[in-house]
Structure 1
Amino acid sequence: MALEWEQVNVDAADAVALGRWWAEALGWVVLNDSAEEYEIRPREDRLPGLIFTPVPEGKTIKNRLHLDFRPDEQDAEVARLLALGARHADVGQGDQPWVVLVDPEGNEFCVLGPRRS
């Protein structure tokens, strides 16, 4: 039996707004822009994607799952994401080579430094 990773589901207070933010942050395309299910992917025919669904409850604790991104230039990418509305976060990481940010709804993600050889 084989499994194909289709998408990551993200609960959101405002699925459309959060989905649009991530589409802009990642440069991904929108496949479905309904308020009940806002889906984005790297390209229309490429997996995995992110799907944002509305939930009534707000985020209250640190995510148990988060995304890591490795850009070409960490400082430039962090600055770009902050300009889009991300914020710095302290989840107890201490002094590390990665930067922890949160999206507009408080979901943590990391911007990694250069890959070690």
Structure 2
Amino acid sequence: MSVEWEQVIVASRDPVALGRWWCEALDWVVVNDGPVVLEIRPEVGRSPGIMFVPSERAKLGQNRLHIDLRPDDQDAEVDRLIGRGASRVDVGQSDVSWVVLADPEGNEFCVLSARSATSNP
């Protein structure tokens, strides 16, 4: 028996707008552009994807699951994402090598430092 990670579902007040934000942030493609649901993937036919679905409830509290991004240049990526509408957030991380940001609806995610040739995956 095997299993494949297909996608993550994100409940959102405005799933189309938030999905497009993440699509541009990740440089992915839209594969399902419904009137109230938006699905993005790294490329057509490639997993995992992220599907944004409607929710009337506002986000409350810290995410229990979040995305970690590993760019080539952490500072440049943090600046780029903030310029696109992300914001810095404090979730109690103190002095760490990653930066915690939130997307326009307040979902936290981390921007890690660049992977060195000697670091673990």
TM-score class, shorter: over 0.9
After superposition, what is the alpha-carbon deviation per residue over 1:76-109, rounded to whole angstroms, capped at 9, x for unaligned?
A: 0000000110000000000110000000000000
Secondary structure of 1:85's counterpart equals coil
Separation (CA, whole Å) in 2 of partners of 1:4 and 1:38: 21
1:64 counterpart residue number = 64
1:32 counterpart residue number = 32
Separation (CA, whole Å) in 1 of partners of 2:41 and 2:115: 25
1:2 counterpart residue number = 2
Secondary structure of 2:65's counterpart equals coil
- Summarize the alignment of residues 44-63 of structure 1 with structure 2, pairs less than 5 Å apart: 44-63=44-63
Percent identical among aligned pairs is 60
For structure 1, the residue ranges without an aligned partner over 5 or more in a row are none
Separation (CA, whole Å) in 2 of partners of 1:50 and 1:35: 16
Paired amino acid for 2:12: A
The question of whether the paired residues in 2 share the 8 Å contact of 1:88 and 1:100 is answered with yes
The question of whether the paired residues in 1 share the 8 Å contact of 2:72 and 2:115 is answered with no
Aligned length: 117
| Range with greater deviation from structure 2 (86-95 or 27-36) | 27-36
- Summarize the alignment of residues 1-117 of structure 1 with structure 2, pairs less than 5 Å apart: 1-115=1-115, 117=118
| Range with greater deviation from structure 2 (12-21 or 26-35) | 26-35
Runs (4 or more) in structure 1 with deviation over 4 Å come to none
Scaled by the length of structure 2, the TM-score of the pair is: 0.94
Paired amino acid for 2:100: V
- Using the TM superposition, give the Cα deviation of residue 36 of structure 1 relative to its aligned residue in structure 2, in angstroms: 3.0
Secondary structure of 1:60's counterpart equals coil
Root-mean-square deviation over aligned CA pairs: 0.9
